[in-house]
Amino acid sequence: MKFIMLVPSTLKIYNASAGSGKTFFLVKNYLYIILKSTHPEEFKRILAITFTNKASEEIKKRILQCIKEFSNQKIRKEYYFLFDDLIKDLKLTKYQLFERAKNILYAILDDFSSFSISTIDKFTYRAIRSFLYYKNNIHLEMDTNRFLWELVENRLTNSEICSPLLVQFSLEKLKEGKNWDISKEIFKIALLIVEENSFFPMKKIKMHSLDNYNWITLKKTLLNRTQEFEKKCKKQGDKFFEFLKKNSIQKHSFLYLDFPKFFQKFCMGDIFLNPFINNQRLEKNISIGAFYKKNTDVDQKNIIDKNKEEILFLYQEAKLLYKKNISSYLLDKFFLKNLSILSIIHEIEKEYQSLKEEKKILLNAELNQILYERILQDPFPHIYEKKGIQYKHYLIDEFQDISILQWENIRILVENALSENGSAMIVGDPKQSIYGWRGGDAKTFLHLIHCSSKYYHKEVASIETNFRSFEEIVKFNNSLYQSASKFFHDPIYQDIYKKSTQKILKKPGGYVELNFFRIEKKNYQQYVYNKIKEKIKKLIRQKYKFSDIAILVRSNEEGNFLSEKLMEDGYLVNTSVSLLIKNHLEIEIIIQFFYVLFKPYSYEKRATLILWLLKNKLIRTQKKDHDFIIETVFLPFDLFLKRISYKYSLDFNNLLDNPSLYNRAENIISGFGLLNQYNAASICSFLDFVHRSMKIVGNSIGDFLEYWESKKEKESITLSEKIDAIRIMTIHKSKGLQFPVVILPFADWNAISKKKEGTWIDISPHLYHGWETLYLDIEPYFKYIEDNFLIKIYEDNLSKKRFDNLNLLYVATTRPIEQLIIFSRHGNDKSVSFYLKKFLHEKKLWNENIFQYSFGIERILQ
């Protein structure tokens, strides 16, 4: 028998900058694989994975459009280039490619479910369902925060069942001057259990049990060590002052009092923060022999000169003591601070698992962890046997957004395919990594680029040509991010932006405008809105449509403000922020009516419903609103209903007795005549929500209202893309999209966000009774601590925050095709506008008295 050694295939990795046509590139590679094969069902052996449902649908649509075109001998002009390209690469005749495309199209339509273009989350969920087949009644809970708050409030901090550990934790927080209500603190710990970034450290913690004996023993060890060091420091401080007293040296004789101040910190145990805060000045004076003030009397000068060597020895001795022990001392102090947290993690975990069992749910946030744990049980798990045989080709999009666990879960399939002469392609852009809070990390992509593997060869390429934006926008972005790269200390982040220059393909033209304002923060939003409105009017005169204009914001609050203002001024706006169902009057009326039906004798609910009806002019009265409410709200329930609906045809029997929640909603809508041509979208969306909710909570009004309150912040109306409306969306939502005109109205978010963050650090288990990891809140005072380890943690965190916030700016400024308009506050050097100003400085354009800068030429006004 002749053995043939399989040579591993090549993993193709593409670093694709914004606008480089990576979706087109992925589609082309997919088409290449299926058209290369003589088997029309080759598509069943391809798994394409992307990050969002929208991206998944877009890729599916493009592939089907291309196959449909290629199966038609009369190919439209826009598909010529791709068609000819594939003919050359595949070395096929036009007729051969036409025949293959036709057969593939029939095969896909015959078995559409095997056309596998999926999000990474769907792939994970399906894999998990394959080994949870015996738990068919389990459903997926998407709202992790809601579940955790229920866990905290109903199971953990309830006064009747609150454990001694939680009581102790509450008392400790009270001693620290914090609120005795520990709900937020417990929620933060519970969140660590499900966060992917905490998965590996939490695994180590769960391996240990911190019972009462171990807890007391560990605490005693930590207290002994910290107190021992504090005593040594105090002894060193006392030694200095005893020396001064013995030699009749007066404290005030020392220059700037630096020596006495330094040793006073040691005496007082004030060593947590760096006692060498004035170290540079002190060290400099020591080097030139400047120990005392010029006006010090001669006797004191002589005494100090005589004892310089001894003073210096005491200083160096203290310095050596501090530097030798400070790292372990600080870690001991941090461990003591977090000891109670570690002690209650097991208790939270127990209640967490119990509540999930009761509710028969899996949390969406924990799916990657569940799958990873399953994979650990088997080098090539049985759950992947079918997929390993089924799929031979893998195409992964938006790799910079994929978490470490997501990659670990799919890596085994990719490596298996490559080892068996399959293929794999990965596309990503570290500059568009903006989902760090979901576990996405650009460094996973960078590590994959630079590391080697025994399972495959690697081919790394950059896609540098910008197919999206006009020349001036590409030139502006090239210069801006080259400039911004200089502000990173971390060479990895610096290199990403240093090499971000793109080639220009679009025709010459394009326009970039930077606007800066000196205005108080409280008036800033209104001022910018007025400027945006002027700009929109100008764009319309330049013959842009409203739907050509996208306004990108950092937060939902900003988007909501602009949406409301534009709609007040008569503009049609297409945005998930303003088009939340809950924001519409008629929906609020239905909800308030449901509350009255649920609690018919709640006079507060009755009054609220009347106010909404008056606000919407569905009740007209010659009396004052207050008087009408007073005379109506206390009526018997049947008379109350008749009084508020005397002009309408409400079917009271149907409203009160109909078992269907959907029918009740319809009755309220028709009875009050709420439906009209302007609100049809919101009414239909709400009824759809009612219909969907009935499958989950049934027909109970109380259960429905609870469900509504948990979901109302996400339920929105979807407008057709064909409607000519201004689009407002967050920068996160805009990723992957493009618009003729982009307005970035509030480009002044913090370059380094102020949100307090934490990190897990490794510690020596033999020093901490077997514990290997510790959660550390990163505090601003870390930069004042004389410890390289903690300073590096602090600086790494700053670099990551800077990178994340610059990535947001990059995503926003690379969305436009023709025009980019930016508004920012003048003089805010801690915001991302700092990069814009430095860029203008480098171009020698910045002037404190100039508030608008432009590049390129605008369209001619019509």
pLDDT of the residue at 134: 56
For the segment 453-480, the average pLDDT, to the nearest whole number, is 91
Contact 812, 744 (CB under 8 A): yes
**Given a cut of 90, is residue 556 above it in pLDDT?**
no
Contact 145, 437 (CB under 8 A): no
Contact 417, 393 (CB under 8 A): yes
For the segment 668-688, the average pLDDT, to the nearest whole number, is 81
Q: What does each C-alpha distance from 554 to 299, 551, 810 come to in angstroms?
A: 66, 10, 13
615 token code pair: 């606000």
Task: Name the average pLDDT for the chain.
Answer: 86
**Confidence bin at 529 (pLDDT 50/70/90):** very high
pLDDT of the residue at 2: 33
Residues of the chain with pLDDT > 70, as a percent, come to 92
**Given a cut of 70, is residue 688 above it in pLDDT?**
yes
**Confidence bin at 4 (pLDDT 50/70/90):** very low
Question: How many Å apart are CA 394 and CA 411, to the nearest integer?
Answer: 10
**Given a cut of 60, is residue 354 above it in pLDDT?**
yes
Hey, do 10-122+375-463 and 505-575+722-751+816-856 end up sharing a CATH topology, with the first three levels equal?
yes
**Given a cut of 50, is residue 5 above it in pLDDT?**
no
**Confidence bin at 719 (pLDDT 50/70/90):** low
Q: Whose structure tokens read 């949870």?
A: 132
pLDDT of the residue at 175: 65
Spatial CA neighbour of 669 closest among 684, 647, 657: 684
For the segment 421-436, the average pLDDT, to the nearest whole number, is 90
pLDDT of the residue at 862: 59
**Confidence bin at 8 (pLDDT 50/70/90):** low
pLDDT of the residue at 671: 81
pLDDT of the residue at 98: 93
State pLDDT tens for residues 562-587.
Answer: 988 888 888 888 876 656 788 788 88
**Confidence bin at 135 (pLDDT 50/70/90):** low
Q: Is 84 helix (H, G, I), strand (E, B) or coil?
A: helix
Q: What does each C-alpha distance from 83 to 73, 115, 636 come to in angstroms?
A: 11, 21, 75
Q: Report residue 165 CA to chain centroid gap.
A: 32
Report DSSP state, residue 37: S
Contact 548, 724 (CB under 8 A): no
Greatest alpha-carbon pair distance for the chain in Å reads 107
CB-based contacts of 239-248 (< 8 A; 24+ apart in sequence): 239/314, 240/266, 240/311, 240/314, 240/318, 241/267, 243/307, 243/310, 243/311, 243/314, 247/303, 247/307, 248/303
Q: Report residue 149 CA to chain centroid gap.
A: 20
Higher pLDDT, 121 or 576: 121
pLDDT of the residue at 432: 93
Three-state SS across 151-190? Answer: HHHHHHCCCCCCCHHHHHHHHHHHHCCCCCCCHHHHHHHH
Of 136-140, 306-310, 355-359, 538-542, the range with the lowest mean pLDDT is 136-140
48 token code pair: 């394409």
Report DSSP state, residue 815: S
State pLDDT tens for residues 201-259.
Answer: 988 888 876 666 677 888 899 999 999 999 999 999 999 999 999 999 998 888 788 88
pLDDT of the residue at 685: 85
Q: Report residue 213 CA to chain centroid gap.
A: 40
**Given a cut of 80, is residue 818 above it in pLDDT?**
yes
State pLDDT tens for residues 308-322.
Answer: 999 999 999 998 998
State pLDDT tens for residues 168-181.
Answer: 776 666 666 665 56
pLDDT of the residue at 472: 96
State pLDDT tens for residues 594-642.
Answer: 998 888 888 888 888 888 888 777 777 767 777 788 888 888 888 888 8
732 token code pair: 């996160």
**Given a cut of 60, is residue 162 above it in pLDDT?**
no
CATH class of 10-122+375-463: alpha beta
For the segment 277-287, the average pLDDT, to the nearest whole number, is 76
**Confidence bin at 288 (pLDDT 50/70/90):** confident
CATH 3.40.50.300 fits 505-575+722-751+816-856, yes or no: yes
pLDDT of the residue at 677: 66
* 47 strand-pairing partners: 394
Neighbours of 835 (CB within 10 A): 22
Higher pLDDT, 454 or 448: 448
Per-domain boundaries in the chain: 10-122+375-463, 139-359, 505-575+722-751+816-856, 581-711, 758-802
Higher pLDDT, 723 or 731: 731
pLDDT of the residue at 569: 86
**Given a cut of 50, is residue 1 above it in pLDDT?**
no
For the segment 492-500, the average pLDDT, to the nearest whole number, is 89
Q: Model-level pTM? A: 0.83
399 token code pair: 């790799």
For the segment 650-671, the average pLDDT, to the nearest whole number, is 80
